[in-house]
Amino acid sequence: MARFKFRCGRGDAMIQLHDVCKSFMQGDESVFALTQISLHVKRGECVVLKGNSGSGKSTLLSLIAGLAQPNSGEVSVDGREISKLPEQFSAKLRRQKIGFIFQKFHLIPHLTALENVITPLIPENLALSLLDEKAKTSMEQCGIAHKAQMRVNRLSGGEQQRVAIARALVNNPLLILADEPTANLDENLSRELIAQFERLKRQGITQLIATHDPLFFELGFVDRIIEIKNGELV
């Protein structure tokens, strides 16, 4: 089997998109979700992608994460063009470089909080003791280590969100992608989550946060707010 290694990126760009288009079939018609998107996000930037539901935010994040491929155009992450990577290499990219915070958490309900955080580490074939250490360290950073042995379906929404963040951070990613991260949280929990994003900014982790939550639009640590509407940047 051929081996594949990701080379370190060059320059100041963590994310680069050039003339990206993405369409989906609805019946017999092709409908564009994204049209000629070009975007440059520098290393260490915190960028908020502003837009209503259906504007194309989630599709854009999926392309950057390698969860989907564009119909045309190029997507690069950390200097690596990923637009046409086979899934096995896209998955390796996500494990090594990207932490994804989903709107609906996507935790495995019958597993404990600790087991959920360990999940992204399993393909790395690490010793069990190291898996446990990495996961617990990430949970401590997110203030949820005291719930490590509890099944996640017994946790509150805010606690589940912290587990999801710990899982996203367990591989020490260079890039965090967050899709409507406060959609299922009340205002107090949303502000706690925002404090986590500010901490990540201080650590130099690049962040792209897709949201229509106005709490994100006047934050001092956010470098840029980019609006997307009907699949186009405006």
Query: Tokens at residue 182, please?
Result: 């406060």
Tally of domains in the chain: 1
192 within a domain of the structure (yes/no): yes
Tokens at 187, concatenated: 């205002």
Share of the chain above pLDDT 70, in %: 95
pTM: 0.87
Note whether residue 4 is domain-resident: no
Find all residues with CB under 8 Å of 26, minimum gap 6, and list them.
Answer: none
Q: Other C-beta atoms within 10 Å of 130: how many? A: 11
Range of the domain at 63: 44-68+97-233
Look at residue 21 and tell me if it is in a domain: no
Query: Is 79 inside a domain boundary?
Result: no
Task: Convert the pLDDT of each residue in 133-186 to its tens digit.
Answer: 999 999 998 889 999 999 999 999 889 988 999 999 999 999 999 999 888 788
The answer to whether residue 53 sits within a structural domain is yes
Rounded CA-CA distance 105/86 in Å is: 25
Q: How many whole angstroms separate alpha carbon 108 and alpha carbon 119?
A: 9
In which band, very low, low, confident or very high, does the pLDDT at 89 lie, cut at 50, 70 and 90?
Answer: confident
pLDDT score of 5 more than 50? no
Q: Residue 217: give its domain's CATH number.
A: 3.40.50.300
Q: Per the domain annotation, does 147 fall within a domain?
A: yes
81 lies in some domain? no
* Residue 219 domain flag: yes
